[in-house]
Amino acid sequence: MDSSQDQIIKEIPYIIRLYKDGRFQRLGGTDIVPPGLDPSTNVQSKDVVISHDTPLSVRIYIPKNANPDEKKLPLLIYYHGGGFIIETASSPTYHKFLNLVASESNVVIVSVDYRKAPEYPVPTCFHDAWEAIKWTMQHENRKGPDSWLNEYPDYGNIFLAGDSAGATIAHHVAIRAGSDNPGRVINLKGIVLLHPYFWGKDRIGSEDEHPFKAGPGDVWMIAHPGTSGLDDPLINPDKDPKVSDLGCSKVLVCVAENDLLKERGWYYKDILDKNGWQGSIEVIEDKSEGHVFFLFNPTSDSAGILRKRIGTFINHADN
């Protein structure tokens, strides 16, 4: 046997290892947990398959004491992170986080389990994200295939959110919502971008000083081998001619002081402003924290404050 086939040609810590013979190994985000009643929050969840052919599924969360006869609840559609390569909607990390968000913000959540690279390179995840939107919106007239989504959400009160690569997906879905038959597919109020994974060919701010400054570019080239490069509009919103089509009126961006990607989160506001987007955007930085800290340390004070920030954004969207 040719041992050279076991040669590692690229490794990105905690994400993926690539071998010479084309094999790969995910280095994280492979654990899963089943849905059900969460004993700490009393949030109920279940998995629903949207398409067996794709495959594409969602995990739906309903908070405690939800009563559609009294009040419909805001709907949050969530896209998990993981560099377009790792993690799932069934991950224990995301399951715990979204149980807390559903409980504390009193929202219905649809967490999308999109297909990932390298088996399904970008832009597959963007297509899946939009298909999940269309499937969810079948329930707007209470005649969709899922009883929970027929009963509980307020379809005039819809938000998108995601972290890292999931925030990038949420951004692009919001652009599509604003450019494809505006107002007809989804009535989107706002988006929450948690530590968004945006990048570009040229370094900005303090990026050049970071020891892992090559990391985001390396991940992107694996996730999207057919890309035009690091200034691809799918990863660099500054190069996207449709960025001002963002189909919502309000954006919340959360960044972290010690995160390599924080400069891009701040710059996102400048991009929207200079391209004439008419909505309001707020960028908030958590000091002394790293990338997606709220997932890895959900019981910390900073994580609790961030989740409260999400709830305030959703439940006071008109303020």
Residues 79, 9 contacting (CB under 8 angstroms): no
Q: Which of 38, 163, 259, 286 is catalytic?
A: 259
Q: Which residues does 316 contact at the CB level (< 8 Å), separation at least 6?
A: none
- Is residue 291 among the annotated active site residues? yes
* C-alpha to C-alpha distance for 140 and 236, rounded to whole angstroms: 33
* C-alpha to C-alpha distance for 24 and 195, rounded to whole angstroms: 26
Residues 60, 108 contacting (CB under 8 angstroms): yes
Task: Tell me the CA distances in angstroms from 202 to 207, 213, 261, one per residue in order.
Answer: 9, 11, 13
Sign of CA dihedral 314, 45, 131, 27: positive
Task: Tell me the CA distances in angstroms from 21 to 2, 24, 124, 265, 309, one per residue in order.
Answer: 10, 9, 24, 37, 46
Q: Which of 80, 172, 195, 291 is catalytic?
A: 291
- Is residue 164 among the annotated active site residues? yes
Q: Which of 128, 164, 172, 232 is catalytic?
A: 164
Report the catalytic residues: 164, 259, 291
